Amino acid sequence: MTMGVLLLIAAALTLAAVYGGRRIRLSPRALESFRQIPFQVGRSLETGQPLQFALGSGGLLGGEAAFTLSAARSLERALGDVRTGEVPPWVAVADPVALLYARHLFQEAARLPAMSSPPLDRIEWAGASPMAYIAGLTLSLGLRPVAANILGGSFREEAILAGEAGQREGAVSLFAMPDPSGAAAMWPLDPSLAVGEEALTAAPREDAPGRWLAHDLLRWLLIALLIAAALGAMGRG
């Protein structure tokens, strides 16, 4: 019952924020991990080296669906650039459903003039378990040069192996880690990485400000609820 009421409040706030946000001039949060993607697409074209995307060890059916979907948003953003067709990115997935989704994104991108046919062989199933996935990704990074190593989605401490392999090969590191342990491991490699909720704000294209306003409104709502709950507990105790 409580969850239902909270969901209704959240839905109403999101709608209010999104529709109200269209009239508010507000710059979206400029997170380095996402802001850099168009620049890295250009750099990839200049160097002739593809981008390497990793969508994390989660899939689209379990509790990590939002993480994987958010990581796929960065891929979608890169594929939306018409120049990407000339040097298609590599994508490493750990979950079969995420592989199907990545294929779908490539097929969508193939509608652009620059990409004649979707290069589906660029999507790799690197490994099924988190550690096997990182091992496969690290091996791939060592075998072929890439312009940027873009890691998003569900990663834990083991991500440092892939992050370090990318840096050793001279690739630019862009990380978005919702999981605190993954973020802690990757921080020394890229202190400007997107952490926690930030990692879920990836947008497939230049976005309307209302979406970030919705995030912020909900965040304030939760803070207010937490303070109210704490005060209530103090009053009772």
Q: In whole angstroms, give the CA distance from residue 210 to residue 51.
A: 30
Which of 16, 45, 110, 218 binds other proteins (CB under 8 A)? It is 218
Cβ-in-10-Å burial (0-12, 13-18, 19+) of 125 comes to: middle
Phi, then psi, of 149 in degrees rounded to 5? -110, 105
**Is residue 16 a contact point for other proteins (CB under 8 A)?**
no
Nearer of residues 42 and 130 to other proteins, judged by Cβ: 130
Phi, then psi, of 223 in degrees rounded to 5? -60, -45
Site for other proteins in 36-65 (CB under 8 A): 59, 61
Cβ-in-10-Å burial (0-12, 13-18, 19+) of 185 comes to: buried
DSSP for 89-105, written as a single string: PEEEESSHHHHHHHHHH
Shortest reach from residue 151's CB to other proteins, in Å: 14
Q: Which residues contact 62 (CB under 8 A, 6 or more apart)?
A: none
Q: Compose the 126-145 pattern: x for residues touching other proteins by CB under 8 A, - for all others.
A: ---x-xx-xx---x---xx-
Q: Which residue type is seen at 233?
A: A
Which of 16, 45, 97, 110 binds other proteins (CB under 8 A)? It is 97
Which of 41, 75, 91, 195 binds other proteins (CB under 8 A)? It is 195
**Is residue 82 a contact point for other proteins (CB under 8 A)?**
no
Nearer of residues 29 and 42 to other proteins, judged by Cβ: 29
Q: Which residue type is seen at 196?
A: G
Element holding 196 (H helix, E strand)? none
Interaction site with other proteins (CB under 8 A) = 1, 3-4, 7, 10-11, 14-15, 18, 59, 61, 66, 69-70, 72, 93, 95-97, 99-101, 104-105, 108, 120-121, 123-125, 129, 131-132, 134-135, 139, 143-144, 157-158, 160-161, 163-164, 178-180, 183, 185, 187-189, 191, 195-201, 211, 214-215, 218-219, 222, 226
